Copies of this chain bind each other. A is one copy, B any other.
């Protein structure tokens, strides 16, 4: 049994393969046919996809190892799956694969308060890890909207980003140690707790962000940071994108406790202000850019009002120096939540045939990128609506595109227009969502032939039969 290029299986004998899985792994681990719940073959926000040949739900690392060894023997393609909240269809089966869902291998194995580390199993929901860190008097460095349903193994496999990267870095920077299982079932355990360890190649980085194509993440040791105190949150208005960049550099140099720096282009802010019921905009929508700034010292370093005072002082000098035109500082948790609700911008999902893009460019280039991208879309489709927002301190911008008659043109046509501008400007077609299945046709827009050849060599070295998540990334 082999997955062909397009992902459609050449079914040599699927029934026999499933029988072997059931016989060797047992029906506590293996689920087949109609008993497989549709959530295991449904991408985020989409209709159910292709039912996998089998669903395997390991309880131990040894279960994962035996499953992979068996899939290698059978040349049976396998899709590792965490919470399946990804936006690039990296965790969905394309047809003919088995799905390996990690949810039963969950839980916190250890918190080492002296080392400042937490050791977790891949299937643990992110929020569970955050809460355990919090209870031990620390803060986890990663946070994102899907915290309740995404799993830490998936966060690692996709190198998740989120809203705190300017302070703590992305998921990759949180991982000190990692255990992964290779395609042939070999368990590679490197559960390092040290900040400095130069004993040979740092293998964890091979697996982090490889979206399950080089190995299956089973356990990890994550850094813990000093516990955060309550944050202070503000919105400020500036005239244009260059002023956003100036403000960013001022803020990072004068407000060391900054944790989020999020920009909203005027069209985005106007739209969400007008279309978010129950939220009163703290700053009136006009032609300016609006920036959300949040800061938080560590709990032990600050009194409750310190963050507020520090943010107020910083914004005061920014105003005096002409770096911002206006600002609103949240005076209650409710006001801060409203600011985040606007920034999260769920309102734009109601635009007809809405498409979401996640790209990155050098920070100084993002303003021109947004203009060129909008112009390219309007040139092709004069009625195209595009809105821009994102984690500017991380060089990450999200783009929302709406075309009332999108079904006529197809999503691919829009992808090509947006990613062509990214390519021309030397950006990345994926800032934090990964490549998965959706962006695979465009990998060459951001990676050279030489880079892709190195990726292929690594794939061939670690998964010579190509059974791990075929048709994804490469």
Q: Whose C-beta in chain B lies nearest to the C-beta of A391?
A: B196
Could you tell me the distance between the alpha carbons of A429 and B199 in the complex, rounded to whole angstroms?
Answer: 6
Could you tell me the distance between the alpha carbons of A453 and B203 in the complex, rounded to whole angstroms?
Answer: 11
Q: Whose C-beta in chain B lies nearest to the C-beta of A202?
A: B209
Residues of B within 8 A of A360 (CB): 194-197
Stretch at the interface among A26-34, A322-330, A381-389, A443-451: A443-451
Shortest A147–chain B CB gap in Å is 18
Mask: chain A, 424-463; 1 = CB below 8 Å from B; 0 = not: 0001111111110001000100111011111101101110
Shortest A22–chain B CB gap in Å is 28
Q: Is the CB–CB distance between B430 and A197 below 8 Å?
A: yes
**Interface centre among A254, A391, A435, by most B CB within 10 Å?**
A254
* A192 interfacial by beta-carbon distance below 8 Å: yes
Shortest A166–chain B CB gap in Å is 8
Known interface pairs A363-B114, A454-B188; A256-B197 also in contact (CB < 8 Å) = no
Known interface pairs A364-B112, A455-B203, A461-B458; A301-B196 also in contact (CB < 8 Å) = no
Could you tell me the distance between the alpha carbons of A392 and B198 in the complex, rounded to whole angstroms?
Answer: 16
Partner among B166, B253, B428, B473 whose Cβ is within 8 Å of the Cβ of A197:
B428
Could you tell me the distance between the alpha carbons of A172 and B208 in the complex, rounded to whole angstroms?
Answer: 14
Q: Is the CB–CB distance between A433 and B364 below 8 Å?
A: no
Q: Whose C-beta in chain B lies nearest to the C-beta of A447?
A: B200
* A115 interfacial by beta-carbon distance below 8 Å: yes
Q: Is the CB–CB distance between A458 and B206 below 8 Å?
A: yes
Stretch at the interface among A51-59, A71-79, A100-108, A292-300: A292-300
Mask: chain A, 291-311; 1 = CB below 8 Å from B; 0 = not: 000000111110000000000
Stretch at the interface among A42-50, A244-252, A272-280: A244-252
Known interface pairs A114-B363, A194-B428; A227-B253 also in contact (CB < 8 Å) = yes
A:356-392 near B, CB below 8 Å: 360-365, 391
Q: Is the CB–CB distance between B115 and A203 below 8 Å?
A: no
* A173 interfacial by beta-carbon distance below 8 Å: yes
Q: Whose C-beta in chain B lies nearest to the C-beta of A195?
A: B394
Stretch at the interface among A157-165, A336-344, A345-353: A157-165
Q: Is the CB–CB distance between B114 and A245 below 8 Å?
A: yes
Q: Is the CB–CB distance between B431 and A198 below 8 Å?
A: yes
Known interface pairs A196-B431, A395-B193; A454-B462 also in contact (CB < 8 Å) = yes
* Given A196-B431, A198-B432; 16 other pairs, CB 8 A cutoff: A112-B364, A114-B249, A115-B362, A115-B363, A165-B195, A170-B196, A194-B362, A194-B395, A197-B431, A198-B435, A199-B447, A201-B454, A203-B454, A205-B205, A254-B300, A256-B301
